[in-house]
C-alpha cells in the first residue's frame, strides 16, 4: 500500500551495518519513509484522522507559532508584572517584559524600583525567551512526536494481528508522483512480500490508550536518528543548566565575599544569580542601575560574565561541537555521537559542519577584534576611559566589544564615548545576526534543507568546501547576504519605526535637540532591533534613552524588539523537526 502525499520525500539516515536492524530484519535506508510507515491496513476513521493531521502539520509554519508564543507570554507576564505592584505603569511593565523575553535588555525604569517578585518575573522571562531554551523545546517536541508515532505503529500492529485474513502488499517499483490532495492512496496487492510487523508483541492498557513500550523497543523503532536526538537533548539540557548554575554560583560567591561599591542595596547572591542568567542569555539587564560600571576593575566578574556571554549565543555552536567532539574522543566509537557530528543539521539547527563552524569562529574573532581595537583607539583622549588603569581598561574594552554584539551590558556610559565609536557600535549591532544566519542557510543546503530554513533562490549554494571557498569568497558572500537581507527584510522596518518615533518625539527634539537627536533615536531603535540593549541613556538617569519617550513610542519599540528577535529564524519547519509520522519500521515476512 503506497500513500501519495504532497511535499518532499524524506529519507531516513541509518547505519546499515549496526543500527538499521530490528529483531533480525534490516531496514532499507534507501526506501522513502512513507513507504515504510504507511504499509498498514487502517480503518477509514484512522485514515481520515491521519490525513487531517498530516495536512495540518504540513501547513504549520514555525514563524507564526514563534510569534504567538512570545506575544502571548509577554501579554500574560505584563499583567502579572503590573498587577503585583502599580508603582510602574502598564506601558513600562509591558516594555520591560518584552525586553526581557526578547533578550533586548533595554529598560524604561530602574530595576531597583521593581519589587523582588517583579524581578523574578523578568528573571524567568530571560530564561524562557532564550534562543537555546527555545531550540531545546523544539528538539523535545520532535522527540515527543517520535513517541506518539511509536504508539501508532504498535496500535496498527495490534490491529493487524486481529485481522483474520492477512493480506500481502508490496511497494510500487518507483516512487509515486506528488499529488495535491493529502491522504489519497494507491493500493497494489502482490504475493511477494508481507506487510511490516513488529517482532515483539504490543501491549495496550485496558483503561488507557498508552502503549507500553520499553526504552529499548523505542530505540529500535526510532533508529539512530531517534537515539541521537535523545542524546543531544540530554547534552543540551546539561549545557544550558550547568553553565548558568556554575556561573551564577561563582558570581554570587565573589560579590558576597568582595562586596564592591554598589549603588543599590541588593543581596549579593541574588545580584550574582540575576546577572549570571542575564549574561548567559545575552539579555544585558542588571539589577544595578549603573549596570556593570561598578565592576570596571573586577577581573573575575568580567572574565566570568564574558565567558557566559560567549557560551550563551555567539560561540554556542563552537562550544557545543567541541563538547561533542571531546565526548566522541573519550567514549570511543559511539554511533549516536558520530551521527550528530556527521549529520549535524539532521538533529539541530545550531550544529553545523566543520567548515561552517571554523568560519563562524573566524568571524567572531574578527568582529570582536575590530570593536576591541576601536574602543581603545577612539577613547585615547577620553578622560573617563583613561581614568581606568591600563590592565582593567584593556579587559573592559574586550568585555564591551562582546556586549555590543550580544551581551547588552555597558562597562561605561555609552553617551560619553567617542561619536565614531558609537557609529561603529550601531553598525555592529545591525549586522550581528548575519554571520549566524549565513551559516544556518549554507548548512541547510548542505543537509538538503532537513530543517526547512528558508533560503532565497539567489542565496542557494550546494557546496561548503574549505578548499573551494576562499576567504575573500566567503567575505563576498557574507557581504551580499548582508546587503540582500538588509534591503529585503530589515530596512523598511527600521526606517518606518524611526520615522514614526521621531514624529511622536518631535516635541522632545525641539526642547532638547542634543539628547533627543536623530542619531540617538536611530541608535536606540537599532539596539532594540538587534536585541542588544546598549543605550546612550538620558542625563541624570540610569535607564535607557527610550525611558524618556512617550507611551506610543515605547509600544512601537516593543514591536521592533519582537520583530528583531525573530530575525533570521526559519520560515517553516520541515517534517524532520515537527512531524514524526515518517518513521521507518521493518519490512519483511515470516
3-state secondary structure of 334: coil
User: Who has greater pLDDT, 570 or 366?
Assistant: 366
The Cα 229–Cα 498 span in angstroms is: 43
The Cα 459–Cα 447 span in angstroms is: 15
Q: What is the pLDDT of residue 263?
A: 53
pTM here? 0.75
The Cα 542–Cα 285 span in angstroms is: 12
Residue written as grid cell 547572591: 269
The Cα 429–Cα 490 span in angstroms is: 12
> What letter does residue 590 receive in the DSSP assignment?
-
Q: What is the pLDDT of residue 258?
A: 83
The Cα 478–Cα 458 span in angstroms is: 13
Region 504-530: what's the mean pLDDT?
94
Region 213-228: what's the mean pLDDT?
67
Q: What is the pLDDT of residue 377?
A: 94
CA-only gyration radius of the chain, Å: 27
Region 584-590: what's the mean pLDDT?
41
Q: What is the pLDDT of residue 78?
A: 96
Per-state percent for the chain, helix, strand, coil, to nearest 5: 60, 5, 35
Q: What is the pLDDT of residue 444?
A: 55
348 phi, psi to nearest 5 deg: -155, 140
Cα–Cα–Cα angle for 107, 109, 113, rounded to 5 degrees: 125
Highest mean pLDDT range out of 63-67, 197-201, 418-422, 455-459? 418-422
H-state helical runs in 403-550: 419-431, 434-446, 471-485, 491-504, 506-511, 518-529
Q: What is the pLDDT of residue 12?
A: 42
Region 486-502: what's the mean pLDDT?
86
pLDDT at residue 549 tops 70: yes
Q: What is the pLDDT of residue 247?
A: 97
pLDDT at residue 250 tops 50: yes
pLDDT at residue 357 tops 50: yes
> What letter does residue 175 receive in the DSSP assignment?
P
In the chain, what's the furthest Cα-to-Cα distance?
91
User: Who has greater pLDDT, 16 or 565?
Assistant: 565
Confidence band of 439 (pLDDT split at 50, 70, 90): low
Highest mean pLDDT range out of 52-56, 84-88, 278-282, 430-434? 278-282
3-state secondary structure of 133: helix
Count the residues in the chain: 590
Confidence band of 215 (pLDDT split at 50, 70, 90): low
pLDDT at residue 24 tops 50: no
Q: What is the pLDDT of residue 219?
A: 59
Strands 21-22 and 25-26, bridge-based pairing: antiparallel
Residue pair 502/518 in contact (Cβ under 8 Å)? The answer is: yes
Highest mean pLDDT range out of 35-39, 170-174, 300-304, 346-350? 300-304
- Segment 378-415, tens digit of pLDDT: 999 899 899 999 999 999 999 999 999 888 899 999 99
- Segment 140-171, tens digit of pLDDT: 888 887 777 766 666 776 676 665 555 554 45
Write the DSSP string, 192-253.
Answer: EEEPP--SS---B-SS---B---HHHHHHHHHHHHHHHHHHHHHHHHHHHHHHHHHHHHHHH
pLDDT at residue 553 tops 80: yes
Q: What is the pLDDT of residue 327?
A: 83
Highest mean pLDDT range out of 268-272, 552-556, 566-570? 552-556
The Cα 554–Cα 505 span in angstroms is: 11
Show the cell assigned to 238.
546539561
- Segment 184-213, tens digit of pLDDT: 334 343 333 333 434 445 444 444 344 556
Which residues are CB-neighbours of 499 under 8 A, at least 6 positions away? Answer: none
Q: Would you give the distance in Å from CA 529 to the centre of its chain?
A: 16
pLDDT at residue 259 tops 70: yes
The Cα 422–Cα 415 span in angstroms is: 8
Mean of the per-residue pLDDT values for the chain?
76
Query: Which of 433, 467, 428, 461 lies closest to 446, judged by CA?
Result: 461
Confidence band of 295 (pLDDT split at 50, 70, 90): very high
- Helices then strands, each counted (H, E), the chain: 22, 6
- Segment 35-51, tens digit of pLDDT: 444 444 445 555 556 55
Neighbours of 559 (CB within 10 A): 13
Q: What is the pLDDT of residue 356?
A: 81
Region 116-125: what's the mean pLDDT?
96
Show the cell assigned to 358.
571554523
Highest mean pLDDT range out of 142-146, 233-237, 437-441, 584-588? 233-237
Q: What is the pLDDT of residue 342?
A: 85
The Cα 552–Cα 559 span in angstroms is: 11
Q: What is the pLDDT of residue 87?
A: 87
Show the cell assigned to 175.
516512487
User: Who has greater pLDDT, 301 or 170?
Assistant: 301
Which residues are CB-neighbours of 170 under 8 A, at least 6 positions away? Answer: 188, 190, 192, 193
Query: What is the torsion angle, in degrees rounded to the nearest 10, for the CA atoms of residue 259, residue 260, residue 264 and residue 267?
Result: -20
Amino acid at each position: 500500500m503506497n500513500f501519495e502525499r504532497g511535499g518532499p520525500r524524506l529519507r531516513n539516515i541509518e547505519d546499515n551495518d549496526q543500527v538499521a536492524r530490528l529483531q533480525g530484519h534490516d531496514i532499507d535506508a534507501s526506501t522513502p519513509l512513507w513507504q515504510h510507515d504507511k504499509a498498514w491496513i487502517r480503518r477509514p476513521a484512522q485514515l481520515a484522522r491521519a490525513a487531517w493531521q498530516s495536512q495540518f502539520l504540513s501547513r504549520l509554519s514555525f514563524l507564526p507559532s514563534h510569534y504567538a508564543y512570545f506575544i502571548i507570554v509577554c501579554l500574560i507576564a505584563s499583567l502579572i508584572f503590573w498587577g503585583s505592584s502599580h508603582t510602574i505603569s502598564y506601558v513600562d511593565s509591558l516594555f520591560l517584559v518584552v525586553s526581557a523575553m526578547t533578550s533586548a535588555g533595554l529598560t524604561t525604569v530602574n530595576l531597583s524600583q521593581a519589587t523582588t517578585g517583579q524581578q523574578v518575573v523578568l528573571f524567568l522571562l530571560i530564561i524562557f525567551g532564550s534562543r537555546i531554551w527555545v531550540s531545546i523545546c523544539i528538539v523535545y517536541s520532535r522527540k515527543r512526536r517520535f513517541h506518539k508515532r511509536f504508539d501508532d505503529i504498535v496500535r496498527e500492529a495490534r490491529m493487524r494481528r486481529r485481522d483474520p485474513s492477512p493480506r500481502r502488499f508490496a511497494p510500487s517499483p518507483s516512487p509515486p508522483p506528488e499529488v495535491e490532495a493529502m491522504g489519497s492512496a494507491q493500493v497494489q496487492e502482490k504475493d511477494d512480500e508481507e506487510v511490516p510487523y513488529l517482532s515483539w508483541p504490543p501491549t495496550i492498557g485496558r483503561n488507557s490508550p498508552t502503549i507500553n513500550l520499553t526504552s529499548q523497543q523505542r530505540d529500535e523503532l526510532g533508529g539512530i536518528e531517534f537515539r541521537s536526538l535523545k542524546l543531544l537533548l540530554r547534552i543540551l539540557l546539561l549545557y544550558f543548566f550547568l553553565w548558568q548554575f556554575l556561573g551564577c554560583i561563582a558570581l554570587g560567591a565573589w560579590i558576597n565575599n568582595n562586596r564592591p561599591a554598589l549603588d543599590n542595596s541588593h543581596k549579593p547572591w541574588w545580584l550574582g544569580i540575576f546577572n549570571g542568567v542575564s549574561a548567559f542569555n545575552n539579555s544585558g539587564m542588571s539589577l544595578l542601575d549603573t549596570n556593570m560600571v561598578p565592576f570596571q576593575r573586577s577581573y573575575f566578574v568580567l572574565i566570568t560574565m564574558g565567558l557566559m556571554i560567549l557560551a550563551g549565543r555567539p560561540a554556542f555552536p563552537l562550544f557545543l561541537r567541541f563538547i561533542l567532539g571531546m565526548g566522541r574522543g573519550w567514549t570511543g566509537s559511539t554511533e549516536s555521537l558520530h551521527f550528530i557530528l556527521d549529520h549535524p543539521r539532521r538533529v539541530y539547527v545550531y550544529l553545523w559542519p566543520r567548515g561552517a563552524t571554523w568560519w563562524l569562529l573566524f568571524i567572531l574573532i574578527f568582529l570582536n577584534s575590530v570593536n576591541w581595537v576601536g574602543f581603545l583607539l577612539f577613547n585615547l583622549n577620553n578622560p573617563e576611559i583613561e581614568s581606568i588603569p591600563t590592565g582593567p581598561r584593556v579587559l573592559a574594552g574586550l568585555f564591551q566589544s562582546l556586549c555590543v554584539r550580544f551581551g547588552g551590558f555597558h562597562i561605561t556610559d555609552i553617551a560619553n564615548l567617542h561619536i565614531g565609536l558609537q557609529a561603529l557600535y550601531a553598525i555592529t549591532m545591525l549586522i550581528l545576526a548575519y554571520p549566524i544566519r549565513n551559516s544556518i542557510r549554507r548548512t541547510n543546503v548542505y543537509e538538503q534543507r532537513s530543517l526547512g530554513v528558508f533560503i532565497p533562490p539567489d542565496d542557494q549554494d550546494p557546496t561548503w568546501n574549505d578548499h573551494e571557498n576562499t576567504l575573500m569568497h566567503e567575505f563576498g558572500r557574507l557581504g551580499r547576504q548582508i546587503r540582500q537581507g538588509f534591503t529585503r527584510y530589515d530596512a523598511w522596518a527600521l526606517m518606518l519605526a524611526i520615522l514614526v518615533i521621531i514624529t511622536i518625539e518631535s516635541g522632545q527634539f525641539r526642547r532638547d535637540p542634543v539628547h533627543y537627536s536623530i542619531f540617538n533615536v536611530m541608535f536606540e531603535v537599532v539596539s532594540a532591533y538587534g536585541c542588544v540593549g546598549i543605550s546612550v541613556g538620558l542625563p541624570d538617569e540610569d535607564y535607557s534613552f527610550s525611558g524618556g519617550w512617550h507611551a506610543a513610542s515605547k509600544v512601537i519599540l516593543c514591536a521592533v524588539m519582537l520583530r528583531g528577535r525573530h530575525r533570521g529564524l526559519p520560515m517553516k519547519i520541515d517534517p524532520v523537526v515537527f512531524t514524526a509520522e515518517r518513521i521507518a519500521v521493518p519490512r519483511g515476512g515470516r
